[in-house]
Chain A
Amino acid sequence: MASIRAFLNGRGFFETSDLVTIGLFSAMTKASTLILALAGGGMNPVTLLLRSAVHAALLMVLLAKVPKTGVLTLFNIVGSLLAFFLMGQAMLALPTIIVGTLAVELLVRALGGLEKHPGLGILAVAASELFSRAANIGLAYLGVREQPGLLVMVVVISAFSYLGILIGLAGGIRMIKELRHAGLIV
């Protein structure tokens, strides 16, 4: 029991600086999402694309800065809990997202880990975002199950924002190179 509690408190696995980094990246992601939503008026396709691109690029930088198993899962848990304060139902997709992201991270671990192969960060972000979109579509289906027609809208929007994620991945790779060059990431 004591060892489980020690694990949940992050002893020997995550350092305080890692947790601070995750918190600040999560804050920046939410802040830029909010600013873009205010600027573009919600579900506008252009801002949707930009929002996911920024999200993916920031995630790539986070993984380059803290290359540990579990970072993505923690980031998603924090993001979902925060979304709960703003958007209620997002909480209900959390278990699926946790399982999905953890599976992706364990796969990355099995392939050699982020410390050895930083390029696996691309796979990790792409796959975990796919999982969280699938979970959200499932949740949306529960909400509109009497009218499956409305689901088309959710699927189209999710697919479009996933396109933004792919753009963001390309941007993230470029950015990590520049940040390494500047010595801001080891």
Chain B
Amino acid sequence: MPALSFKFSESTTGFLKITPESRLILTLVASIFSLFFGQIVPLAILLLVTAVYISLEIRFRYIAIVYLFFAFIALTAVTFVWLLGFVFTVMKDQPLSMAVIPFMRLSISINTIIPLAFNSKLSELISTLNKLRLPGLIKLPLIITIRFIPTFINDLKQLRQAVRIRFRGVSGYGFWVLRPFLWSRVFFMPLVVRLIRSTDELALATELKGLSAETDFGAQRLIFGPTDKIVLALASIAVSVSFIIENLHAHG
């Protein structure tokens, strides 16, 4: 969602033109199979295939940024746990091949999530949700959520600026740690009031427009172009091959 990743708006190579539906399918398939494979060879095949996929979709610079970001998060988490006094004995008594497997799984999912998250436009994603034929009970809140995240991010930024102007000097990063009650008064309360106001207004507007969970938002059929068919076919071949290898190893 470029709206969420405003810095990554120029991340796409534009080389592989596939629909968000295909990206969604690839992400789901990769997540499920990477989780259930336990051998190194099938995981390596999936890793290679997804690496080719991400390098066709995303510019190298952005792939590097994403991987650095994930490494940073992992490092913070490890440091935090280490600080809490847990002795970290991960590598103990284990061959290196076993130690890398969780990281391979993580890389496989990153490789498929990033194209989905960065290269799908907000409007495309909403129309994809329409095509998926979810029940209206889920579809209506989901579409509203996706539509309003960028708006609320903007609201939050404005609130933060207001707090900075009003509390010059104290409103650093540690503001809420040092004065949590003041923080909740000047930041959190206005946020909630604003949220409830917009809830009431939007609910009224939706009802006046005659929209409800039963509204058909113009559901369309799933259409796959030639590129989608080729990519999905290659993906299913890769998954089948690794599935066969996984089972050969398991029984042999």
Q: Which residues from chain A sit less than 8 Å from chain B, CB to CB? A: 8-11, 14, 16-17, 19-28, 30-32, 34-35, 39-46, 50, 54, 57-58, 61, 65, 74-75, 77-78, 81-82, 84-89, 91-92, 139, 142-147, 149-150, 152-153, 156-157, 171, 175, 178-179, 182, 184-185
Contacts and interface: CB of A to CB of B under 8 A. Distances in A.
A95 to B, nearest CB: 13
Contacts of A147: 90, 94, 98-99, 101-102
Nearest to A16: B212
B27 A19 contact: no
Given A21-B199, A179-B192, 6 more contacts: A23-B144, A27-B148, A27-B149, A28-B195, A82-B145, A147-B101
A31 B3 CA distance: 11
B244 interface: no
Interface residues of B, number: 83
A54 B188 contact: yes
A168 to B, nearest CB: 10
A92 B188 contact: no
A171 B184 contact: yes
Given A39-B173, A46-B177, A153 B116 contact: no
A100 B152 CA distance: 29
Which of A8, A24, A87 counts the most chain B CB atoms within 10 A? A24
Interface stretch (B51-59, B134-142, B218-226, B235-243): B134-142
Q: Do most interface residues of chain A lie in helix, strand or loop, or is the interface mixed?
A: helix
29 contacts: A9-B136, A9-B137, A16-B207, A17-B207, A19-B144, A19-B213, A23-B148, A25-B199, A27-B146, A27-B152, A31-B155, A32-B156, A42-B76, A61-B196, A74-B137, A78-B141, A84-B27, A87-B113, A88-B30, A88-B31, A139-B35, A146-B99, A147-B90, A152-B86, A171-B184, A175-B184, A175-B189, A179-B192, A179-B196
B202 to A, nearest CB: 5
A87 B89 CA distance: 27
Given A26-B141, A27-B144, A146-B98, A41 B76 contact: yes
A153 B141 contact: no
A185 B207 CA distance: 20
Contact of A45 (B28, B80, B125): B80
Interface in B27-65: 27-28, 30-32, 35-36, 38
A82 B113 CA distance: 12
Nearest to A27: B148
Given A24-B198, A26-B141, A11 B152 contact: no
B72 interface: yes
